[in-house]
Amino acid sequence: MSKNPLYVTKSFLPPVEEYTERIKAIWESGQLTNQGTNLVELEKKLQDHLAVKHLFAVSNGTLALQVAFKALELTGDVITTPFSYVATVSSLAWEGLNPVFVDIKEDDLCIDPAKIEASITPSTSAILATHVYGFPCDVVAIEKIAAKHNLKVIYDAAHAFDVTVNSKSVLAYGDASTLSFHATKIFHSGEGGAIVTPHADVAHKIGYMRNFGHNGPEAFQGIGINAKVSEVHAALGLCVLPHMQTIIAHRQQATQQYDALLSNLPNMRVVKAGIACKHNYAYYPVLFNTEEVLTKAVASLNAASIFPRRYFFPSLETLPYVGHYEVPISRSISSRILCLPLSAEISEAEVSEVAAIIRTALTS
């Protein structure tokens, strides 16, 4: 048995001395929020690190989606995926938009571009696609469809920090991409998120929309919301960012170890990206042939104090506040998918233990 519980992930924490140094400076300045020096620095460093045009930090990934929808002036129906975290869809419904589900591909579990056009109607204003587990959607195919039908494209890139496609950031595609900097993400600020856009006019809107609509201390450009980031969170992000190369390298090493130990197992396959990319190793998803086999593997892991996650489950067309859609691939996949423990600190021994338990569960 594992000496300590092993969870699906573990938040990376930089050396406490690095964080303490920034916290002391915040105490000396007395500024805790309202576009402080740490936040300004974080936004600039993230923009440079990711090589994107316009980046705005916000207080979480859900508000990132909601502000993006407002800035792009979406209306009516938005085509989206049923295989994502609930926030992808709940944010649409919260903003009075109608999620229209299109099924996913069986290889990388991202939305299937071949099925999008059949769902486009005069009421459709946008496509909202998720880079599932950081595996990029077929961005070229999606943007061809969007251009043909004059639709906006938003990517839920909560998992896609540092992912590149065609030698550029996956965040460079679409009219906007949103990031989550929640503590479970490979880059995080405890809580937080960001919106990326290539458009200057959209960037202008996001700039005031995230701050109550302020366009100066005594002027209001338009409607806004409170999506500001505190100095305390920005400081943590600034302490995590320099470690990204080490974080991703360790996750890559653990992923390669899993690959070697879990290859050629019956009743299970490892999910990989469907298009060529530089991946970030955000998650390690495996797909079982049946839910019964998954349940058996999870029970064996839990007995050893190892806690993977059924992520994403359930399929989002089952939510009580959305319409009825037939998406059999998503429904089936969601019942059989499991993300195994992966972090910047997971040891070779822990990966070996997880793999051995799964191998025994599948072959006994």
pLDDT in tens, 116-131: 999 999 999 999 999 9
Q: Could you tell me if residue 3 is inside a domain?
A: no
Q: Could you tell me if residue 171 is inside a domain?
A: yes
Do residue 354 and residue 215 come from a single domain? no
- Give pLDDT tens digits for 76-99: 999 999 999 999 999 999 999 999
Q: Are 281 and 334 in contact (CB under 8 A)?
A: no
Q: Which helix (H) or strand (E) holds 90?
A: helix 86-94
CA distance 94 to 96: 5
Do residue 218 and residue 163 come from a single domain? yes
Q: Are 213 and 220 in contact (CB under 8 A)?
A: yes
Q: Could you tell me if residue 2 is inside a domain?
A: no
Q: Could you tell me if residue 10 is inside a domain?
A: no
Round the average pLDDT of the chain to a whole number and report it. 96
The domain boundary residue, chosen from 221, 242, 263: 242
Do residue 187 and residue 288 come from a single domain? no
The domain boundary residue, chosen from 242, 272, 304: 242
Q: Strand runs (DSSP E) across 144-256, as ranges?
A: 152-156, 164-165, 168-169, 176-180, 193-197
Region class of 155: left (phi > 0), else alpha (psi between -120 and 50), else beta: beta
Which CATH number do you get for residue 235? 3.40.640.10
Supply the pLDDT for residue 264.
87
CA of residue 260 relative to chain centroid, distance = 26
Do residue 26 and residue 153 come from a single domain? yes
Q: Quick check: 4 pLDDT over 60?
A: yes
Q: Could you tell me if residue 190 is inside a domain?
A: yes
Report DSSP state, residue 137.
P
Q: Quick check: 3 pLDDT over 80?
A: no
Mean of the pLDDT values across residues 291-313? 97
Tokens, residue 50: 């990711």
The domain boundary residue, chosen from 242, 276, 311: 242
**The model's pTM:** 0.96
Mean of the pLDDT values across residues 287-294? 98
Q: Report how many domains make up the chain.
A: 2
Q: Could you tell me if residue 6 is inside a domain?
A: no
Which CATH number do you get for residue 280? 3.90.1150.10
- State the helix-helix crossing angle for 37-50 and 16-29, rounded to 10 degrees: 130
Q: Are 355 and 262 in contact (CB under 8 A)?
A: yes
Supply the pLDDT for residue 332.
98
| Percent of the chain at pLDDT exceeding 70 | 99
Q: Could you tell me if residue 11 is inside a domain?
A: no
Mean of the pLDDT values across residues 190-210? 97
Q: Are 238 and 41 in contact (CB under 8 A)?
A: yes
Tokens, residue 14: 């930089």
Do residue 138 and residue 168 come from a single domain? yes
Of the candidates 184, 143, 169, 173, which has an alpha carbon nearest to the alpha carbon of residue 61?
Answer: 184
Q: How confident is the model at residue 1 (pLDDT cuts 50, 70, 90)?
A: very low
Do residue 178 and residue 282 come from a single domain? no
Q: Quick check: 219 pLDDT over 90?
A: no
Mean of the pLDDT values across residues 35-44? 96
* Other C-beta atoms lying within 10 Å of the C-beta of residue 121: 10
Do residue 55 and residue 142 come from a single domain? yes
Q: Quick check: 36 pLDDT over 60?
A: yes
Do residue 128 and residue 255 come from a single domain? no
Q: Are 348 and 257 in contact (CB under 8 A)?
A: yes
Mean of the pLDDT values across residues 133-152? 97
The residue to which tokens 């969870």 are assigned:
7
CA distance 171 to 230: 24
Supply the pLDDT for residue 81.
98
Mean of the pLDDT values across residues 333-345? 98
Q: Quick check: 313 pLDDT over 70?
A: yes
Q: Are 231 and 190 in contact (CB under 8 A)?
A: no
Structural domain range at position 303: 243-363
Mean of the pLDDT values across residues 160-176? 96
Supply the pLDDT for residue 309.
98
Q: Could you tell me if residue 5 is inside a domain?
A: no
Q: Are 181 and 187 in contact (CB under 8 A)?
A: yes
* Other C-beta atoms lying within 10 Å of the C-beta of residue 168: 12
Supply the pLDDT for residue 2.
45
Mean of the pLDDT values across residues 251-275? 96
Do residue 187 and residue 312 come from a single domain? no
Do residue 115 and residue 222 come from a single domain? yes
| Percent of the chain at pLDDT exceeding 90 | 94
Q: Quick check: 220 pLDDT over 90?
A: no
Do residue 208 and residue 254 come from a single domain? no
Do residue 353 and residue 206 come from a single domain? no
